[in-house]
Amino acid sequence: MKKSILSFLLVGKNRHRVLQCLEENKSEGEIMSYKIEKYTELPKSHISKALKELNEYGLVKCTNDEDRKFKFYMITPKGQRVLKQVNKLVEDIKKE
């Protein structure tokens, strides 16, 4: 796994929170950004930016890109792997 992707999430707490939200709610399938906003309590603008960046790295996928108002997102398998590694690093840091 590229270290740049791990640091991308470690440095961006909002990105980490958004990705964690998608992982925890993946049983619902695709999730709209308003639900991420409700879960994370982050402002809409922060969520939009985080989702765009996560999408660029291939960690999340917008399943209806053509719709400009109501977009649905889901975590990708790559996003799940990266999140698992980041969460392990965070736990290791907390133990020290």
On whether residue 93 sits in a domain, the answer given is no
At what angle are helices 77-95 and 13-24 packed, to 10 degrees? 120
| 36-82 pLDDT tens trace | 999 999 999 999 999 999 999 999 999 887 877 788 999 999 999 99
Tell me, yes or no, whether 27 lies in a domain: yes
The larger pLDDT score, comparing residue 34 to residue 54, is at 54
Asked whether residue 94 is assigned to any structural domain, the reply reads no
Residue 19: inside a domain: yes
In a domain, 63, yes or no: yes
Q: How many domains does the chain contain in total?
A: 1
66, amino acid identity: E
User: How large a percentage of the chain has pLDDT more than 90?
Assistant: 59
The pLDDT value given to residue 93: 79
pLDDT at position 1: 60
Which domain covers residue 44, as residue numbers? 3-80
Q: For position 65, which CATH number holds?
A: 1.10.10.10
| Cα–Cα distance measured from residue 13 to residue 17, given in angstroms and rounded to the nearest whole number | 6
